[in-house]
Structure 1
Amino acid sequence: MPEKPRLLPVDEADLQEKTLASLAPYRDNDGRIYTIWATLAHHEDALRRYLVFSNHVLGKNTLPLKSRELMILRIAARAQAGYEWDQHVRIARRAGLSDETILEAATGARDGLDELDQVLLAATDSLVDHQGVDDELWDRMCAHLSTEQVIDVLYTVGQYLTIATVINTLGVRTEGEFALPLPRPALQKEVPA
């Protein structure tokens, strides 16, 4: 993460009406556009197109909400993407996840999680490390998930790795203090792809 933001958020007054319409659901409690989206608004056409995919992954995903959030938190912690971490800690809490569960997923501890979440976090780590999963993990995924859900696992990991890369490269900062400190995750044992 650079010492200071490489791109500052675009002022709302400088955005096209169609971009403002696309960003209507992406505002904080004070009505401000979230920093990540205001930063990506430097390329308004791409942002509007990206929001369609992002809306599927975040809002219409077939995975259970709590499971999806554990995956995103694992990615954010592994990538040390503070903005992503902070936003999804808040979402995970609203979904009913405890800070203890959030931190366990982030650091790679899986013993307290149910079998589905253990499989999803193993898949997340394998996809981050190898951009794929081995046959044994594939079979475990298919034992718990529909075909659509398996595809949503891939989309979720891909989307949030992309956002982590953007956050870390552009130096996107949180809107305030961290809701929960960003832990350094323990690395998992090597899982063959």
Structure 2
Amino acid sequence: MPGVVPEKARLRPVDESGLHEKTLASLAPYRDRGGRIYTIWATLAHHEDALRRFIVFGNHVLGKNTLPLPSRELMILRIAARAQAAYEWDQHVRIARRAGLSDDTILAAATGRLDGLDEVDRVLLTATDSILDHQGVDDKLWSRLTDRLSTEQVIDVLYTVGQYLTIATVINTLGVQVEGDLALPLPLPSDQKEEAA
């Protein structure tokens, strides 16, 4: 799944002095502790109308999602690791830690070591992989999902994978750079580990 990721940004983040007031209002919650707009959003601000619309959907997936927060974060981290989307990985390692997840659990999910996870998280991560690989799930996996989740939660599984695959694609294609050092090293996919050996 991982593709070619540029070593430097292909699009520089937009200086906020050039943004419309309604875009700045939409981005108010997306600032770091220093008050700067996060790089991903400042980069997507090259297309302000699309950014504002995208944020509405993103607010559902990130803030109003019916999945448990730790489970959602494990799914996002799995997507980031498989896509080798370092910016997404870094941001969501930090969110996952705040949600109470240990680095061991984060790395287990990212690398597909599901044995130590509870049944719901194993099903969610199996579904995440299936959606990434096949753009869907087979009947057996569908039954596992619907036996454990509400209909709204199943739909949020699809929205979460779709949203964060989109973000990973944007990050990798535009070369969105990590803001500082990675909170936790991004593990290589198993096929790349074998090539590096």
Counterpart-to-counterpart distance in 2, 1:102 and 1:158: 20
**Which residue in the other structure is 1:77 paired with?**
81
Tell me, yes or no, if structure 1 residue 135 matches structure 2 residue 139.
Answer: yes
Q: Deviations over 1:51-110 (max 9, x none)?
A: 000000000000000000000000000000000000000000000000000000000000
Match of 2:158, as an amino acid? L
The Cα offsets for residues 37-56 of structure 1, whole Å up to 9 and x where unpaired, read as 00000000000000000000
Q: Tell me which residue corresponds to 1:113.
A: 117
CA distance in structure 1 between the aligned counterparts of 2:135 and 2:182, rounded to whole angstroms: 29
Letter in 2 for 1:30: G
| SS class of match (1:156) | helix
* Corresponding residue SS for 1:24: coil
Query: Which residue of the partner structure matches residue 102 of structure 1?
Result: 106
Q: Matches of 2:185 and 2:124 in 1, distance apart?
A: 23
Aligned to 1:54: 58
Number of positions where the alignment pairs a residue of Structure 1 with one of Structure 2: 187
Give 1:27's match in structure 2, choosing from 28, 31, 39: 31
What code does the residue aligned with 1:113 have? L
- Check conservation: 1:108, 1:186, Cα contact below 8 A: no
Shift of 1:185: 2.9
Distance (Å, rounded) in 2 between the aligned partners of 1:10 and 1:139: 45
Letter in 2 for 1:95: A
Q: Secondary structure of the residue that 1:172 maps to in structure 2?
A: coil
**Where has structure 1 moved over 6 Å in runs of 4 or more?**
none
Paired letter, 1:161: L
CA distance in 1, matches of 2:190, 2:60: 30
| Shift of residue 3, structure 1, vs aligned partner | 2.2
AA paired with 1:101?
Answer: T
1:83 alignment partner AA: Y
2:19 paired residue number: 15
Q: Secondary structure at the match of 2:140?
A: helix
Summarize the alignment of residues 143-158 of structure 1 with structure 2, pairs less than 5 Å apart: 143-158=147-162
Does residue 42 of structure 2 align to residue 38 of structure 1? yes
- Distance of 2:33 and 2:62 partners within structure 1: 18
What amino acid maps onto 2:85 in structure 1?
A: A
Equivalents in 2 of 1:94, 1:174: separation in Å?
19
The percent identity for this pair of structures is: 81
- The structure 2 residue matched to 1:67, chosen from 66, 71, 79, is 71
Task: Give 1:4 deviation, angstroms.
Answer: 1.3
Contact 1:108 1:185 in 2 (8 A): no
Q: Secondary structure at the match of 1:25?
A: coil
